Each structure stands twice: as C-alpha cells, then as structure tokens.
Chains A and B, each alone.
Chain A
C-alpha cells in the first residue's frame, strides 16, 4: 500500500517561511468555510469523521471539543501539544518545520468550534528550528488578519503564543503540560476534573497533538462522512509514521490506517540494509511494544494496538536487525523513563529504580527465576497503578518482550548458558 498524502501533500511545494505560499495553496480557506458554520455542526462533522487523537492515547476528538464547547466558564484555551519527546518520533517536528500554517489553521478551527479565545503552542525546548519557524508563522498570520480580533471579517477573536519546554519528557502528558504552561514543574494532576473542565489557569482547555489539529481543515473540506471513508472502519484518516532504526530509507511517511507495519518497513522504507534481517520492531516509541518479525503483518489501527495493552502511540516504527541485543535496548528504554519520571506517584518513581536493576541482571547474564518473576509482576503493577501515561506505558516494552522473547530471558539466566 503506497503513501496517501493528505496532511503532508504540500510539503516540498511551499516555503514554510512564506504565508504567501501557504495562502496560494489554499491554506486558511477551510477556516473561512468553518467560520460560516454553526459551532455545534462543526463538532458534529468531527464526530462523523471519527477523528481520534494522534499524540498517543487516541481519544476521540469530538468528545473533547464538545466538552470544552459546553463549558460556560471563560476564557477558554486551546493548547497544541508539540512536546514531541518520545524516542523514535519526529513527525510533529516534520510538520512544524515544513508546513506551519496547516497546524495554525487546524488550531483556529478548533478554537472557533469550542469558543476558545487564547491558545498556547507548547514546543519542546530542544526543537530550536521548529520554535523559530512557528514563531515566524504566527507573526505572519497576525499580519494577515488570521490571528487577533475579527478574524477573516468574523466576530471570532483568537490569539496564540509559543511556550517552550525546558527538557522534560513527562510534560507531553496533558496535565503536566498545563502545569508547565502556568510556569511550574511538570507534574501531573489527579483526574478528574479533566482539562476540558479545569485546564490552564483552572479554565476549560482543549489540548491536542499537532497532527490531530492538522486533520481538521481536511474534515471541514471533505465533510466528516467522506473523511471517515479513509482508513479502516474503526480508525479513520491517515497516520504519520516516523520510521527509524536499521532501515534503508528512514523518514516520515503518511499512510492510511490499516496499512501494515511490514508495508511501511519494506515498501516505503526499503527494508533492512546490507542483507541484515529484522530481529525486532518497537512500535509507537519507547513506550510501545517490541514485537518479533513474524508479527509485522499487524495493521496500524487503534483497535489492533490495544491488544498489546498499548495505545497506538504517536506512530513510531523503530526497526532493529539481528545484530541488536534486546537487553541493551531495554536498558536504554528503562533508563530513559527512570530519568523522565516526575516522581509524583510511587509505582513510577520507585518502580523504575527496581526495573532497571532487574533488567540489568539479565543484561549481564546474571538473571534468575525469581528476578524474572519480579520483573514481570513489577512491570504489571506499574502498568496498572501509575498515575499518568508515563508509568502506565513505560513497562510495555518489557511486558511485550516477556511475551514474545521469553526464551531470551531464560538464555540470560546465570545457569542458562547465556549469550554473554
């Protein structure tokens, strides 16, 4: 199955630093159309489209939009989550650096539909180039009457400002991000209330990923029903995939949902170079499952991924060939999450310390059956009892490895002969 370029179709044809280019290619035309629509009808179209969040959790967009729209408290906020820090993901950076105005158009449509008057565009501090480009795009949009008061001659007022991160992965979690926007440490809050009820400064807040917003202009353009015909019955639209690792042509690819992981790796990515063989693939990013080669015909789809007790993730595919050691990979993942845990809840804060010790035992070839048992039960406890998505998803790589590469753990037991 080839690429199906929708969100990315103009990339390469436009200069990201020129709003003139963007306008000539039709950007902000769908905003104009949306501004003439009734707000609730607009959200109905999003419901018909069945748009789900592209940042990892896959939450239905229309529910968040309707929930924000119904709130009476003002001002309301729209937050764009561009804190793309999940190892293996780079599609939001690709969108920001190549077509910033498509993102702004999507945010404006969402703001109009929900009655929000102010937006925050939260970009991680490491993304210097994306920050400069987005700042420039916002300035140009202001000069062209697309931000500010009376947008496109309507009575809709909206302004947006950039907030930059300062090196924290957990800030990608919605409440941690809200705390960070308020100038605080990025520690999550207990839910409910949800951000749509009490978000930034205690006000109703619609918070979504960059790619999710980018879909809105296309839903306005083709109508929710037509949009829903793209992809599969339950997962509609396209997904941007960040393909990396041991693959001939790494990069960002836009495919309809339902495309298989193998099609992305082999047809689009050109397979593994130098006649090496695929040993394992991590899906979604560091928080996703690690699967063996024989499972690559898996479709990219929200429902299929839930079978792994995992979310679709933000769409990363990390290919690893037979030269790679599973335990070295797991060590890197566990260390990453240990460093990034905010420390608020016990399962995540303490769990990662012990997870690292246990994985390290197997890494050294010193594992034993008790440690295997502890590793499995600790991973499950963290998965089920952590407060936010970080601690809930970080053990997925271990849980999936225990399912699909169990022999590798036995091989790394002290009495087991061992690879090392």
Chain B
C-alpha cells in the first residue's frame, strides 16, 4: 500500500499520527519506516519532523531498521519463563542460526523479544507478524518455522 493511500484514510489531524504509522508500517515488506516517509507524514499533518521522530523512537513496535519478512517475537516475561520459554527460544536460535535482535541472511526472519502478549494461560507464547502461537514446545516451534519456510518456495 502506498503512503498516500494510508494518509487519505485518516483525518488530517496530528492525533492520528500513531494510527497512521502503525497502519503504514504493517503494509511494508520489511516492517520499517524511512526518513523520507517520516518527512512526508510530518508535512501532511503539518507537524515538525522531530515530533514524528520522537514518537517513532518512543514506541517499540516502530522500527527505523529494515527487518526480516517475518518478525518472530518471543515473550520472555515471568509466566512464559516458568513454563520453559528458554527451550523454545533456544530451538528458534538454533533453527534460524541467529541470536535475538538479528535477521537471517535470506531476510526471511527477524528474532526479537516482546513484552507480555497477554496469553499467559497458554504460555509459552510467541508472535509471528500478527499471529500468536501458544502452548509452544520445541517440536511445535520446529513445525511452525518449517511451515513458514515452505511458504517461501511456494
């Protein structure tokens, strides 16, 4: 989706800044926002670029760095931790051959931590894009990653 299309969806008012940024970033292949785009948004809303920049750097769901096509976010808060989240994370690291905060060479996956996803009764959990996977085990994680990898070739 083009930036203009997203801008046209919202009232031209600065309180929609976060909504616009979230909506637009979601449509980007590498889930990042560029300086040019921030400038365009600032101009459209008639606010300073520094204001847009401060918002983008404050909220952790925004990124100025390109990420993999699929962003894998693993919860590491206490309820997940006590349900063997470490095993899940280690399986992911081994399978993807990357550490937390890194992207695979083929730009398919980025591995990140996330704050609690609010599914603690089904811990441990992770999110890939907008989909949450629950009651994870190492075997489940292997199957999920294999399925995502399969899609690439499809």
- The residues of A with any CB-CB pair to B shorter than 8 Å are 84-90, 92-93, 124-129, 163-169, 180-187, 201, 242-246, 250-252, 282, 286, 316, 318-321, 324, 328-329, 332-333, 336, 339-340, 342
Contact = CB atoms under 8 A, between A and B. Distances in A.
Which of B16, B59, B76, B83: most chain A CB closer than 10 A? B59
B14 A168 contact: no
Nearest to A86: B116
Given A88-B78, A185-B58, A336-B77, A163 B120 contact: no
Contact of B78 (A183, A245, A250, A252): A245
Contact of B116 (A88, A182, A245): A88
A143 B132 CA distance: 31
Contacts of B127: 126
B19 A168 contact: no
Give the bracket for the number of chain B residues in contact with chain A.
Answer: 35 or more
Nearest to B13: A183
B78 A329 contact: yes
Contact of B61 (A167, A201, A333): A167
A250 B121 contact: yes
Contacts of B132: 128-129
Which of B60, B115, B130: most chain A CB closer than 10 A? B115
Contact of A167 (B60, B77, B123): B60
Interface in B18-43: 18-19, 21-22
Contacts of A124: 118
20 contacts: A87-B116, A87-B120, A88-B79, A124-B118, A125-B22, A129-B132, A166-B22, A168-B58, A169-B115, A182-B15, A183-B15, A185-B55, A244-B79, A246-B82, A250-B121, A252-B121, A282-B78, A318-B79, A321-B82, A336-B115
In the A-B complex, list the 5 residue pairs whose CB atoms are closest, starting with the nearest. Answer: A167-B61, A87-B77, A166-B59, A244-B120, A167-B60
A270 to B, nearest CB: 13
A242 B117 CA distance: 13
A205 to B, nearest CB: 14
B2 interface: no
A316 B77 CA distance: 13
B121 A242 contact: yes
A182 B47 CA distance: 13
B119 interface: yes
Contacts of A93: 118-119
A128 B130 contact: yes
Interface string B59-93: 11110000000000000111101110000000000
A165 B132 CA distance: 17
Given A282-B78, A318-B79, 8 more contacts: A125-B61, A166-B18, A168-B60, A185-B58, A245-B83, A250-B123, A328-B81, A332-B77
A197 B121 CA distance: 38
Contact of B19 (A164, A185, A244): A164
B61 A166 contact: yes
Which of B81, B123, B127: most chain A CB closer than 10 A? B81
A341 to B, nearest CB: 12
Nearest to A93: B118
Contacts of B115: 85, 87, 126, 167, 169, 336, 339-340
A181 to B, nearest CB: 7
Which of B14, B18, B76, B81: most chain A CB closer than 10 A? B18
B136 interface: no
B121 to A, nearest CB: 4
B111 interface: no
B33 to A, nearest CB: 11
B10 to A, nearest CB: 11
B121 A243 contact: yes
Contact of B79 (A127, A245, A321, A328): A245
Which of A85, A244, A286, A328: most chain B CB closer than 10 A? A244
Contacts of A86: 116
B139 interface: no
B121 A251 contact: yes
